Amino acid sequence: MDKNNKTLRASKEIEIRFSEVDSMNIVWHGSYAFYFEDARECFGAQYGLGYLDIFGNGYYAPLVELKFNYKKPLVYGRKARVNIAFRPTEAAKIIFDYEITDLVDGSQIATGYSIQVFLDKQYQLVWANPPFYEEWKRKMGLL
């Protein structure tokens, strides 16, 4: 956590597997969703906001928006880092920003963001921040 601006960050290294590339040896665009998912799981494990934490408190957190901006191709055999940052909001949402960088030259491969909302166990949209989420934000120094 960056104490100056209260940004929670995590990162995950990935190695591009053969199953993730297309016939041009470039990472298939659909693989980026998995890379962002890996980063969300890493963040959740590091900060106590994983899917099982959310579920254990009586909620689901489905994705409602997922955006990618491709900057440079990523190819088979390369290693990259997926950086994730929690974007604070007062709304009942979880928003993350992402950046994928090449581990060899540090160049930017892609950026993006995701938005998750809360559903209760009856799959109804929750309009206010769930109590556990408010407590989590307080514990993280975000309130």
> Using one digit for the tens of pLDDT, what is the confidence trace for 30-61?
999 999 999 999 999 999 999 999 999 999 99
Residue 72 domain-assigned (yes or no): yes
What positions carry a catalytic annotation? 22
Q: What are phi and psi of 64, to 5 degrees?
A: -120, -15
- The model carries a pTM of 0.93
CATH number at residue 23: 3.10.129.10
Identify whether the C-beta of residue 48 lies closer than 8 Å to the C-beta of residue 136: yes
Q: 5 falls in which pLDDT band (50, 70, 90)?
A: low
107: containing domain: 9-138
DSSP at 126? P
Tell me which residue of 2, 33, 6, 5 sits closest to 20, measured CA to CA. 33
Residue 127 domain-assigned (yes or no): yes
pLDDT digits (tens, 9 = 90+) for 89-137: 999 999 999 999 999 999 999 999 999 999 999 999 999 999 999 999 9
Q: How far apart are the C-alpha atoms of 108 and 61, rounded to whole Å?
A: 29
Looking at the 3D structure of the chain, how many domains does it have? Answer: 1
